[in-house]
Amino acid sequence: MDKQKWNPAQYAEEAHFVSELGAQVVDLLAPCAGERILDLGCGDGTLAKALHDAGCRVVGVDASPEMVAAAISTGVDARVVDGHELRFDAEFDAVFSNAALHWMTRPGLVLDGVYRALRPGGRFVGEFGGHGNVATILRALEEALAARGIDATPLNPWFFPRADEYHALLTRYGFEPVKVQVFSRPTPLPGDVTGWLETFAQRFINSLPKEARKAFVVEVVERCRPALCDGDGRWMADYVRLRFVATRPFGASAVVKPSVSSA
Ligand code: BEZ
């Protein structure tokens, strides 16, 4: 199965709004100069750089070597690490994550690594896709693939939990959730939804032979148009955000964590 590929130039063109909107998550983090911060899923490093410029000691991690190279070019310490395989030990005052956790489909492994990466009393602050995120786009992809005899279920690379589900997960992995909320945030796109699909929905598109992909994308765009494009031709993605703050308690966690091998 084709993996999602990340291209920093395409990302900057089609998805610059991701880090622009992520500024609100930085505000929620309320970073202080001198704090050690892990940016989990740092992408091209835009927000890691903002934290660095605010005087924090930042390490960015991302599974994409291309995005990590882009992050390093901005002057931040960034490393190629899969979020399911964090190996830090009580090194950070905070773990921060914007628009990345929905790509990590084994959240137990991620939470276990984040917990270990934080010092006792440290905080985990982030935002990602919540339940119902991009539902119109996902339905259009599923229906257009079904029309071609393909079941999209195993191609779906995203984890979009409900607030109560994520609250329970945080608790199970030893965190104290301070806030977990899901809210709708329709998000303007730079053009129509074509660029978004080509940037983020590669698993679905690449399940088809090369020569069939263009027509498929055109069809998905048309399936989305009635819900996502207004009378003036402006497109909005139907984003739903899950925003959270949680802490690693000072005392040893009394919670017995399930085996993470299957998480
Ligand atoms: C999001 O930020 O919600 C998102 C981005 C790309 C794919 C899926 C979701």
What is the CATH classification number for the domain harbouring 128?
Answer: 3.40.50.150
Q: Is 203 in the pocket of ligand 1 (CB under 6 A)?
A: no
Buried b (16+ CB within 10 A) or exposed e, 35-58: bbbbbbbbbbbbbbbbbbeeebeb
Nearest CA to ligand 1 atom 6: 200
Q: Is residue 153 part of a domain?
A: no
Distance, CA of 102 to CA of 241 (rounded, Å): 10
Residue type, 151: D
Q: Is residue 171 part of a domain?
A: yes
Q: Is residue 212 part of a domain?
A: no
Domain tally, the chain:
1
What's residue 259's pLDDT?
54
Q: Is 129 in the pocket of ligand 1 (CB under 6 A)?
A: yes
Q: What is the pLDDT of residues 17-30, one digit of tens each?
A: 877 888 999 999 99
Q: Is 133 in the pocket of ligand 1 (CB under 6 A)?
A: yes
Q: Is 237 in the pocket of ligand 1 (CB under 6 A)?
A: no
What's residue 107's pLDDT?
98
What's residue 261's pLDDT?
46
Q: Is residue 55 part of a domain?
A: yes
- Residue in the block written with tokens 């009393």: 121
Q: Is residue 139 part of a domain?
A: no
Query: Cα(22) to centroid of ligand 1, in Å?
Result: 13
Q: What is the pLDDT of residues 186-198, one digit of tens each?
A: 999 999 999 999 9
What's residue 255's pLDDT?
55
What's residue 251's pLDDT?
82
pTM to 2 decimal places: 0.93
Is residue 101 a contact partner of residue 40, using CB atoms and an 8 Å limit? yes
What's residue 142's pLDDT?
98
Range of the domain at 94: 8-134+158-188+240-247
Q: Checking phi first, is residue 88 left (phi over 0); if not, alpha (psi -120 to 50) or beta?
A: beta
What's residue 18's pLDDT?
79
Q: Rounded to whole angstroms, what are the CA distances from 60 to 101, 104, 188, 239? A: 14, 16, 27, 25
How many CB atoms within 10 Å of residue 131?
15
Q: Is residue 144 part of a domain?
A: no
- Residue in the block written with tokens 């899901």: 182
Pocket mutation for ligand 1, best pick of 239, 240, 242, 243 (most atoms within 8 Å of C-beta): 239
What's residue 262's pLDDT?
42
In this structure, what token pair is assigned to residue 24?
């609100």
| pLDDT digits (tens), the chain, 263 positions | 667 888 888 888 887 887 788 899 999 999 999 999 999 999 999 999 999 999 999 999 999 999 999 999 999 999 999 999 999 999 999 999 999 999 999 999 999 999 999 999 999 999 999 999 999 999 999 999 999 999 999 999 999 999 999 999 999 999 999 999 999 999 999 999 999 999 999 999 999 999 999 999 999 999 999 999 999 999 999 999 999 999 999 986 555 566 544 45
Distance, CA of 196 to CA of 190 (rounded, Å): 9
Q: Is 158 in the pocket of ligand 1 (CB under 6 A)?
A: yes
User: Where are the alpha helices (H) located in the chain, listed in sequence order?
Assistant: 8-29, 46-53, 65-73, 107-117, 135-146, 163-172, 194-200, 202-205, 210-228
Instruction: Report the DSSP beta bridge partners of residue 242.
Output: 128, 182
Going by C-alpha positions, the residue among 236, 248, 27 that lies closest to residue 117 is 248
**What single DSSP character describes residue 55?**
T
Q: Rounded to whole angstroms, what are the CA distances from 209 to 5, 195, 235? A: 17, 19, 28
Nearest CA to ligand 1 atom 9: 129
In this structure, what token pair is assigned to residue 72?
């390093």
Distance, CA of 117 to CA of 83 (rounded, Å): 12
Is residue 37 a contact partner of residue 93, using CB atoms and an 8 Å limit? yes
Q: Is residue 14 part of a domain?
A: yes
Q: Is 239 in the pocket of ligand 1 (CB under 6 A)?
A: yes
Q: Is residue 114 part of a domain?
A: yes
Instruction: Report the DSSP beta bridge partners of residue 109.
Output: none
Q: 254 Cβ partners below 8 Å, 6+ apart?
A: none
Q: Is 200 in the pocket of ligand 1 (CB under 6 A)?
A: yes
Q: Is 134 in the pocket of ligand 1 (CB under 6 A)?
A: yes
What's residue 205's pLDDT?
98
Nearest CA to ligand 1 atom 7: 200
Query: Cα(101) to centroid of ligand 1, in Å?
Result: 9
